[in-house]
Amino acid sequence: MAIAGPRDGPSRGWTALSTPEQALERARAELAAMRASGAYGEQAVRRPLPSTGAITTGKLFEWALIEPDLRDVRSTRRGGAPITAFKRQLLRLLAQYHGELIAEQTRFNVNLVSHVRHLEERIEELEQRLADRES
Amino acid sequence: MTINVHQVLSGAGPFDAITTEAIVFRSYFADWGWGGSDFAARIAPGVDGEITALDKLEVEPEDVLLIHHSAGFPRLERLLALTNPKLLLYHNITPASWLWDHAPLVAVHCAIGREQLLELVSAVDVAAADSQYNASELSALGAARTEVIPLLLDRRRLGTIDAPAGPDAPAGPRSVAPMVLFVGRLSPHKRQDEVIRAFALYRRYRAADARLILVGDPITAGYAQLLRELAEQLAPGAVSIESALSATELASRYRAADVFLCLSEHEGFCIPLLEAFQFGLPVVARPSGAIPDVAGDAVLLVDDPDLALVAELIHLAVTDDGLRAELRRRGQARLDAFAPELVAARLRAAVQATVAARAG
């Protein structure tokens, strides 16, 4: 597929647009023509991000395991590289303490999510029993 | 009448549009002979001396509290327990669902902020928002009357299309290779991943030497790395991700760009649209959140999920001179609709209404 030059205008003899209202229609027509000649393919559709739906128990389990990313510890100042290095070194020195903190918090998180999952299963079971009794 | 207005922010940062607005508001208050100070619950490094820690807030009974709401407020109940007249200015809050995976702490602040909104609406004397979209959220929560005070664009900060903001700003001609620009925090709801995908298509089928510049502070270093990896995979060597730019540097990016591309899925206002208008840049954008309010008829809005269509709109916006000229003209008109003096007048009226509501 030949690529148009960077400053080449719209193809197929279009005249210049004068209003933005025409632009979407023109772009659709151009796209149809491009696709007809083999460009773009069919896979160019917007993708939803995986995290924007409902928060599932599986997701809660994933989050229960705390793993802070050392890359997020940084200075936001311009020329802040030495401050970033200092902060990261400080965290390395305190790694044992933070490891203990993370372990205790993760223990609580995982057990809490397990408990929630267990309760959900019980609710489902009881609802099923109720439905069976009523039917 | 002299009024003391204390502005209260949930957070303040050096590149934050709301912090910038609060600082400009303070200069208006000074011009009007009003007093007061500015406070924030969380202050990022780089905000030097202009904003004070919220726990230092001391008020007289008649002082007005102008509460900028854009994230969760720690100890909100203490603030609302003050009997002072209160004006809420709601800037919208990103739904936490966009942020849980990549920035859990920010997500927590957002989730709390949304929970606090109802409490705030019922506690303030006057509720205002910076877009009609945001005002409609306040109305849905029961606000009887909402004012719209658009987010303020400080035009002097970036200079103009021809006049650099600072002595060291490059003012060279537009690039030969098309340059696509997006400015906004590197965050999942801004969909820079989609900007990269649409750009890669444009580059592949329309302009092999095109470049994309993404300007914004990353919500986390890990998220910025994900975007870099995506860019290297889809458009190797053609995408630059730049953070912590000075106003002069940002202005030079706007001057060098050919088109501004915004595919955000949530925007409470989107001040970069106005900045793009200021520099005469054509804009292609998704009509999400408050974007249609700000864009008016001056933006190529596209809600189609097909990124190839976005790529074709980029191509039109870059190559069609008639279209570019018309978008530039309309953008200038939109800029006039958000002129600082109009914002200042609305702000002044809202503060005076807050005082009057309490007096009445």
CB-based contact B214:B227 (threshold 8 Å): yes
CB-based contact B116:B154 (threshold 8 Å): no
Is B205–A9 a contact, with Cβ atoms under 8 angstroms apart? no
Question: To the nearest whole angstrom, how far is the Cα of B300 from the nearest Cα of chain A?
Answer: 6
pLDDT digits (tens, 9 = 90+) for A90-105: 999 998 999 889 889 9
Is A40–B318 a contact, with Cβ atoms under 8 angstroms apart? no
pLDDT of amino acid A80: 84
Q: Residue range A6-27: average pLDDT?
A: 69
Sign of CA dihedral B50, B51, B55, B58: positive
How is the beta sheet containing B5-12 ordered, strand by strand?
Answer: B52-53, B38-43, B5-12, B64-69, B86-90, B126-129, B146-148
pLDDT digits (tens, 9 = 90+) for B18-31: 998 999 999 999 99
Buried b vs exposed e over B142-178: b needs ≥16 C-beta within 10 Å?
Answer: ebeebbbbbbbbebeebbeeeebbeeebeeeeeeeeb
Q: pLDDT band at B2, cuts 50/70/90?
A: confident
Question: Chain B contacts of A44, Cβ < 8 Å?
Answer: 197, 201, 306-308, 311
CB-based contact B211:B182 (threshold 8 Å): no
Q: Does pLDDT of B315 surpass 60?
A: yes
Of residues B100, B177, B244, nearest to A55 (C-beta): B100
At a CB cut-off of 8 Å and minimum separation 6, what does B357 contact?
A: B85, B125, B126
pLDDT of amino acid B50: 86
Reported as type and span, the H/E element at residue B180 is strand B179-183
Question: Which residues 18-47 of B are in CB contact (within 8 Å) with A?
Answer: 44-46
Measured in whole angstroms, the distance separating CA B191 from the mean position of its chain's CA atoms is 15
CB-based contact B131:B269 (threshold 8 Å): yes
Is B208–A55 a contact, with Cβ atoms under 8 angstroms apart? no
Sign of CA dihedral B163, B166, B172, B175: negative
pLDDT of amino acid A26: 93
The span from the CA of B89 to the CA of B343, in Å, is 13
Structure tokens at B206: 């329309």
Percent helix, strand, coil in chain B (nearest 5)?
45, 15, 35
pLDDT of amino acid A14: 58
pLDDT digits (tens, 9 = 90+) for B253-312: 999 999 999 999 999 999 999 999 999 999 999 999 999 999 999 999 999 999 999 999
pLDDT digits (tens, 9 = 90+) for B165-207: 444 444 344 457 999 999 999 999 999 999 999 999 999 999 9
Q: Which DSSP category does B184 fall into?
A: S
The span from the CA of B232 to the CA of B238, in Å, is 8
Of residues B100, B101, B206, nearest to A3 (C-beta): B206
Question: To the nearest whole angstrom, how far is the Cα of B122 from the nearest Cα of chain A?
Answer: 29
Is B319–A53 a contact, with Cβ atoms under 8 angstroms apart? no
- Please report the number of interchain residue pairs, chain A to chain B, with beta-carbon separation below 8 angstroms: 144
Q: Does pLDDT of B164 surpass 50?
A: no
Question: Chain B contacts of A74, Cβ < 8 Å?
Answer: 221
What is the ipTM, given to two decimal places? 0.84
Q: pLDDT band at A11, cuts 50/70/90?
A: low
Is B194–A19 a contact, with Cβ atoms under 8 angstroms apart? no
Is A52–B98 a contact, with Cβ atoms under 8 angstroms apart? yes
| Average pLDDT score over chain B | 91
Tell whether B197 lies on the interface with A, counting CB pairs under 8 A: yes
The span from the CA of B283 to the CA of B274, in Å, is 10
pTM, rounded to two decimals: 0.83
Interface of A with B (CB under 8 A): 1, 3-10, 16-20, 23-24, 26-28, 30-31, 34-35, 39-40, 44-47, 49-53, 55, 59, 63, 69, 71-72, 74-78
